[in-house]
Amino acid sequence: MHLLSQILTPDRTVCHGHGPSKKRLFETIAKLVCANQPALRYDDILDHLIAREKLGSTGLGQGIAIPHCRVGNCTQPIGALLSLATPIPFDAPDEQPVDLLFLLLVPEEARQQHLDILANIAHLFSQHRFCRQLRAARDSSTLYQIACSGAD
């Protein structure tokens, strides 16, 4: 089974989302994740995302960002995928704005699992064909299907 299909759901996949700034985008993501995860609190998720980003940008370059953090009350890895209608500055190493974002939340104690999943996601998003397919999606359902099928 493909990794993203294990941690992503259709309701946490947004095509052509809006986020005029990194902070507003994190607010949107926190709401998206908490909508179907009653154990997770919006303020906690937002605080963790902002704190992690202060350590260094999670922008990888080439329009990709993978914000990630470990969170208490999170019982399993959770993902969210957004393609943005308008790319936003993200302090990426190549200074390119971000238009594809994958959020990863993992349980607080899952240090190695966090690193392993993050490495797999970074590898997947480093594949140009996969990212082109995601960017070509016209709706959230198609974006989810492409993400879960992975790079061919």
Q: Is 48 designated active site? A: no
pLDDT tens profile 131-150: 999 999 999 999 999 999 87
Task: Give the model's confidence band at 1: pLDDT under 50 very low, under 70 low, under 90 confident, else very high.
Answer: very low
- Domains of the chain (ranges; CATH) run 3-149 (3.40.930.10)
The single residue of 68, 114, 123, 128 carrying the catalytic annotation is 68
Read off the tokens for 41: 């609190």
Evaluate if residue 110 carries a pLDDT over 80. Answer: no
pLDDT tens profile 2-19: 678 889 999 999 999 988
- Give 8's contacts (C-beta < 8 A, 6+ positions apart): 79, 80, 81, 144, 147, 148
**Full-model pTM:** 0.92
Rounded CA-CA distance 82/27 in Å is 13
Please say whether the beta carbons of 90 and 59 come within 8 A.
yes
